[in-house]
A and B are shown apart, each in its own frame.
Chain A
Amino acid sequence: MSPHRLDLVVVGCSWGGLAAAGALLEALPGDFDAPIVIVQHRSEARSVLTELLGRHTTRSVAEPDDKAELRRGHVYVAPPGYHLLLDRTGFSLATEGPVHHSRPSVDVLFESAADAFGERMAAVVLTGANDDGATGLRRVAAAGGLALVQDPASAERATMPAAALAAVPTALVADIPGLAQILVAAAVRSEAR
């Protein structure tokens, strides 16, 4: 079906996101090597998010420095107090104002990723109590990327996935194990081409 390589997975989550993102990482097999970039809404304090997520995966989990390269097999987490953006080669950080009261914002990551990766990417909106991510997911879908949304009924907070689904009615909906299966299938298809 998908004729394109899966070169990037972006994930957005808020309330309940740590558990959900952790479960998603755990559900992905070890040979799934597309880079995964996560925005989890968080306070500005220096936090232990990378360490907590690292317990769910054997991949390296890190907050990227500005202009760091995007590498296969790695998991990246947006640092607190910065927006995280992507271009074709790697990361850019920004300290402009919060979007949806959040910095990092899911929309900012998704929109920049859509511009740079288009059909070679997938975007996933998980649990959360606001509507960040909806606009970004629409941009990903418009650019030909794969749009995935956690089934609101299975999410700890339904607002964020429901808003994403309202913005992108054609998005694929599943619980976390189902989302992992869809990502794996997309990666396999792209390998087989």
Chain B
Amino acid sequence: MSPSSEPALEAAEEVDREDVEIDGLLEAVYRYYGFDFRQYARPSLRRRLWRRAHLEKVTTMSGLQERLLHDRACMEHLLLDLSINVTAMFRDPTFFLAFRRTVVPLLRTYPFIRIWNAGCSTGEETHSLAIVLAEEGLLDRTRIYATDINESVLVRAKEGVFPLEQMRAYTENYLAAGGTRAFSEYYTAGYEGARFDRSLTDGVVFSRHNLASDGSFNEFHAIICRNVMIYFDTKLQDRVHDLFHESLVRFGLLCLGQKESITFTSHADDYKVVDAADRIFRKVR
């Protein structure tokens, strides 16, 4: 027998094993399925991966990687975990009020209006925008492009059926957002939920678009992308800001979530602040 020696298998300092595992998992998902989550913000990504791991009854990220690669259903569940964001109609009513008061008058100057609602998820925000535009008499000359990475949320967005038990909260939001009618005029209460008036989404094109990899597909007068980029790391945020900058007409409007900033991006100087609190910016160069 050879003399016993101390095993030399110490982990390198400052290297987090779970980080290594997550890097491997994301790389595997990208190479095998083509979905690129490598530049998603790590803290919330880690949370969602662990939630999936618990549901799949695996105890490590490596275990989850094996499951993802060998079980397509597991990957589909993860896709939903990573792309469904809990949203609401007229979320942040002050934003929709500001949109009505400051964005609508600017949009009115165009004969035909193109709006990109990027990361539309299950469609609550798209319907809210359509309602404001309808009340302002602009909906019939507006085309909204509502995009999301995930096909199945787009199906739901297109259906425009939202839970009845939310209608009270949505009505309050709608009124706080400067709504001018009875909110209940916009939907029919049915067995499956509140079905919103089809005419709201007649001019909406729902389609798949991946902000992490797809390019510009039109020129827009306004881009609304709220609380989507918070899930991206700063590098990917920069990429998306490049994409938005390229996709906006001169003096086009960029609407972000209430805690999203452009001061941390490479386009900070390309926009003028229109509404600081509600994060509405105008492209000036």
Q: Which residues of A contact B (CB under 8 A)?
A: 46, 63-68, 79, 81-83, 85-87, 92-98, 108, 111-112, 115-116
Closest B residue, CB atoms, query A107: B47
A98 to B86, CA, bound (A): 9
Which listed residue, B46, B85, B234, B258, touches A67 by the CB 8 Å rule? B234
Closest B residue, CB atoms, query A64: B259
Chain A contact residues, majority secondary structure: loop
Q: Which residues of B contact A (CB under 8 A)?
A: 16, 18, 41-44, 46-48, 85-87, 91-92, 94, 227, 229-231, 234, 237, 257-261, 264
Which listed residue, A46, A63, A68, A92, touches B43 by the CB 8 Å rule? A92
Closest B residue, CB atoms, query A111: B47
Tell me if A46 and B94 are in contact (CB < 8 A): yes
Tell me if A66 and B229 are in contact (CB < 8 A): yes
A182 to B91, CA, bound (A): 41
Q: What chain A residues lie within 8 Å of B257 (beta carbons)?
A: 66, 93
Tell me if B259 and A97 are in contact (CB < 8 A): no
Tell me if A66 and B47 are in contact (CB < 8 A): no
Tell me if A108 and B259 are in contact (CB < 8 A): no
Q: What chain A residues lie within 8 Å of B230 (beta carbons)?
A: 66, 92-95
A91 to B148, CA, bound (A): 25
Closest A residue, CB atoms, query B228: A95
Tell me if A94 and B259 are in contact (CB < 8 A): no
A111 to B229, CA, bound (A): 22
Max chain A CB contacts within 10 Å: which of B16, B227, B258?
Answer: B258
Closest B residue, CB atoms, query A92: B41
Given that A96-B86, A97-B86 are known contacts, is A65 also in contact with B259, CB under 8 Å in the complex?
Answer: yes
Q: What chain B residues lie within 8 Å of A97 (beta carbons)?
A: 86
Q: What chain B residues lie within 8 Å of A81 (beta carbons)?
A: 91-92
Tell me if B260 and A66 are in contact (CB < 8 A): yes
Tell me if A87 and B86 are in contact (CB < 8 A): no
Q: Which 3 A-B pairs have the closest CB atoms?
A: A85-B43, A112-B43, A94-B44
Q: What chain B residues lie within 8 Å of A66 (beta carbons)?
A: 229-230, 257, 259-261
Distance of A48 from chain B, by nearest CB (Å): 14
